[in-house]
Amino acid sequence: MANPTYSIPVPPVVYVVDDDEAIRDLVVEIARAIGATTKPFARAEDFLQSYRPDPIECLVVDIRMPGLSGLEVQRRLIEAGHGVPVIFVTGYGDVDTAVEAMRAGAMDFIQKPFSPQALAEKIQAALQRSRTAYRERLERGTIDARFSLLTAKEREVAVRVVAGKSSREIADEFGLSIRTIENHRARIMDKLHADSVVELVHLLSPRVAAAQAAASAPDTALPPADDAG
């Protein structure tokens, strides 16, 4: 199965949070020049109140501001489970703080005064990371939707295929014919749009591992389907 290619009809969004109007306007200009929609804020509190995740996004935020700091903004986004890539704008003496922020998950930082080209490159890299994450979420959703089409028996067979068992071994375990197991495998491949067993294992391994970890049993089947297959 070739991974589906998704066109992204919405433009990328760059959030800009800086109490310095001149810096804020400059960042907005740079972001718009690379084709992004911008949402500028002078106060971190206003940004946090109005923020809603966009499919492709990044945040450029000053590390030191009156009221909430950029670090506090980052902390609150992480606590809320938001994965927006963050680029910190720092002043002289803030580099150590910016490095600390990157250890906490920030994408990058840039020190004032900065060149427009340097910031543009960092924004583009952050948006690419966001774009990749968005496509991966879409692909996982597609695979999950296809996986839901498997019957209970097909899921049981799939678990054993992922474990490396042959059709004969699976047939012996279930007391079925090899042809029946091969038919199950063919339907699994078709429903998941997998072109090879290697690809099937790649698609299903994370789901099998999660199911087994949740049940703390090495031979736990995948979540049951609505029918008995």
Identity (one letter) of the amino acid at 115? S
Q: Give this prediction's pTM.
A: 0.68
* Domain boundaries, given as residue ranges, for the chain: 13-137, 148-215
DSSP H or E stretch at residue 14: strand 13-17
Burial class (CB in 10 A: 0-12, 13-18, 19+), 49: exposed
Q: Residue 226: what pLDDT?
A: 47
Q: Give counts: helices (H), strands (E), the chain.
A: 9, 5
Which residues have a Cβ under 8 Å from the Cβ of 164 and sit 6 or more positions away?
Answer: none
16 bridge partner residues: 40, 60
CA distance 41 to 19: 8
15 bridge partner residues: 39, 59
CA distance 83 to 58: 9
CA distance 10 to 108: 24
CATH architecture of 13-137: 3-Layer(aba) Sandwich (3.40)
222, two tokens: 């995948």
Q: Do residues 87 and 107 touch, judged by C-beta distance below 8 A? A: yes
Annotate 95-119 with DSSP letters as a single string: HHHHHHHHHTT--EEEESS--HHHH
pLDDT tens, N- to C-terminus, the chain (229 residues) = 444 444 546 689 999 999 999 999 999 999 999 999 999 999 999 999 999 999 999 999 999 999 999 999 999 999 999 999 999 998 877 778 888 888 888 899 999 899 999 999 999 999 999 999 988 888 888 888 888 888 888 888 888 888 889 999 999 999 999 999 999 999 988 988 888 888 888 887 777 666 566 555 445 445 554 444 4
Rounded to a whole number, what is the distance in angstroms from the first to the last CA of the chain?
24
Identity (one letter) of the amino acid at 147? F
- φ/ψ (deg, to 5) at 174: -90, -10
- Chosen CATH of 148-215 out of 1.10.287.610, 1.10.357.10, 3.40.50.720, 1.10.10.10: 1.10.10.10
Q: Residue 1: what pLDDT?
A: 43
Cβ–Cβ contacts within 10 Å for residue 107, how many? 21
